[in-house]
């Protein structure tokens, strides 16, 4: 019996790369899968809205799994609602949501246009909202436990040159995950975050050397773990998963300077070693 037997999973951006790897592994582990993909290029330009998702579905079905394709745009409210409708029409329920869809428009900040900013934030951050809200409400209204995994990035957690738009969106997704993990407790909805690092079309031009640990198939087992009952005790946490391994990333703070009376900027400067982490 698979780890996801009897579950229904929605995976956005699953027409290739990481999402495809998740979809195929989830199906192998017993889940029925909604494979969402708009079929757009890496920078968000329109392409075939059905071929990528349908190819993955056909391969899952040929392997004996259950899956259905969806070509809706995650960056629209209607798209998010339609993705849920596809799951309910095909399988009657939803148990797992993986928000994975994304695009890149990398430029240094001074060269970035408003369109570069808006489109990346719309697909990543608003797209996560658009897909999560209808699933969240359905789980709550039907009294069903669920798992929602939101995809952040080390670019959002640590920063990365040339990715102000992407990093800001991914940082927002981390914060959304933290809030939803708190709000989800009373409805038994677990929410976790993922910061993956793999060789996909999104990272194809970064010069990664060939390494089987960099393939999307090496990220998928960690996502399966997060979505399954094996991780039932974990919510509100984010895992970095890459060829370097699997590790939780946490926001921490120093002991800090704790004055017992009003202080000056000069006094604060003299206590800086208590305020900042050592470089």
Q: Is the pLDDT of residue 152 over 80?
A: yes
For residue 241, the model assigns a pLDDT of 95
For residue 204, the model assigns a pLDDT of 46
Q: Is the pLDDT of residue 44 over 60?
A: no
Between CA 32 and CA 150 the distance in angstroms is 19
For residue 1, the model assigns a pLDDT of 85
For residue 58, the model assigns a pLDDT of 98
Look up residue 137 and give its two tokens: 């409400």
Calculate the dihedral angle through the C-alpha atoms of 183, 188, 189, 194, rounding to the nearest 10 degrees.
Answer: 100
pLDDT (tens digit, 9 = 90+) per residue, 239-260?
Answer: 999 989 999 999 999 999 999 9
Average pLDDT over residues 29-58: 81
For residue 279, the model assigns a pLDDT of 85
For residue 45, the model assigns a pLDDT of 58
Average pLDDT over residues 9-34: 97
pLDDT (tens digit, 9 = 90+) per residue, 58-97?
Answer: 999 999 999 999 999 999 999 999 999 999 999 999 999 9
- Cβ contacts of 78-83, under 8 Å, gap ≥ 24: 79/130, 79/131, 80/127, 80/129, 80/130, 80/131, 80/132, 80/133, 80/134, 81/134, 83/10, 83/12, 83/34, 83/36, 83/131, 83/134
For residue 223, the model assigns a pLDDT of 98
| Catalytic entry in 166, 174, 225, 263 | 166
For residue 266, the model assigns a pLDDT of 97
Average pLDDT over residues 124-152: 98
For residue 214, the model assigns a pLDDT of 76
Q: Is the pLDDT of residue 151 over 50?
A: yes
For residue 28, the model assigns a pLDDT of 98
Pick from 33-42, 91-100, 106-115: least confident: 33-42
**At 136, is the pLDDT very low, low, confident or very high (cuts 50, 70, 90)?**
very high
Residue 225 is among the residues annotated as catalytic for this protein: no
The full DSSP string for the chain is --TTTT-EEEETT-SSHHHHHHHHHHHHTT-EEEEE-----TT-----TTHHHHHHHHHHHHTT-EEEEE---TTSHHHHHHHHHHHHHHHS---EEEE-------B-GGG--HHHHHHHHIIIIIHHHHHHHHHHHHHHHTT--EEEEEE--HHHHT--TTBHHHHHHHHHHHHHHHHHHHHTGGGTEEEEEEEE---STTTGGG-PPP-GGGSHHHHHHHHHHHHSGGGTT--S-EEEEETTEEEEE----------SS---HHHHHHTHHHHSPP-
Residue 17 Ramachandran class (φ > 0 left, ψ -120 to 50 alpha, else beta): left
Q: How many of the other CB atoms lie within 10 Å of CB of 248?
A: 10
* Alpha-carbon separation of residue 115 from 49, 108, 128 (angstroms): 22, 14, 19
Mean pLDDT over the full length of the chain: 93
Q: What does pTM read for this prediction?
A: 0.92
pLDDT (tens digit, 9 = 90+) per residue, 197-209?
Answer: 987 555 545 455 5
* Alpha-carbon separation of residue 150 from 102, 174, 194, 226 (angstroms): 12, 8, 6, 11
- Can you list the domains of the chain with their CATH numbers? 8-275 (3.40.50.720)
């Amino acid at each position: 019996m698979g780890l996801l037997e009897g579950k229904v999973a929605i995976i956005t951006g699953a027409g290739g790369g990481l999402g495809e790897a998740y979809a195929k592994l989830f199906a192998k582990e017993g889940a029925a899968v909604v494979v969402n993909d708009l079929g757009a290029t890496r920078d968000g330009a329109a392409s075939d809205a059905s071929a990528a998702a349908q190819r993955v579905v056909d391969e899952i079905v040929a392997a004996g799994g259950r899956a259905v394709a969806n070509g809706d745009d995650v960056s629209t409210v209607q798209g998010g609602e339609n993705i849920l409708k596809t799951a309910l029409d095909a399988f009657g329920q939803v148990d797992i949501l993986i928000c994975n869809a994304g695009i890149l428009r990398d430029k240094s900040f001074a060269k970035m246009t408003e369109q570069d900013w808006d489109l990346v934030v719309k697909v990543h951050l608003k797209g996560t909202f658009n897909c999560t809200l209808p699933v969240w409400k359905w789980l709550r209204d039907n009294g069903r436990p669920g798992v929602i995994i939101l995809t952040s990035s080390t670019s959002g957690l640590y920063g990365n040159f040339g990715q102000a738009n992407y990093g800001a969106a991914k940082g927002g997704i981390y914060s959304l995950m933290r809030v939803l993990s708190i709000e989800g407790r009373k409805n038994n909805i677990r929410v976790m975050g993922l910061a993956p690092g793999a060789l996909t079309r999104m990272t194809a031009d970064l010069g990664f050397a060939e390494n089987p640990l960099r393939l999307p198939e090496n990220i998928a087992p960690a996502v399966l773990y997060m979505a399954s009952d094996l991780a039932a005790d974990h919510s509100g946490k984010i895992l970095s998963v890459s060829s370097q391994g699997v590790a939780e990333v946490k926001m921490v703070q120093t002991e800090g300077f704790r004055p017992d009376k009003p202080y000056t900027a000069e006094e604060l400067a003299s206590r800086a070693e208590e305020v900042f982490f050592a470089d």
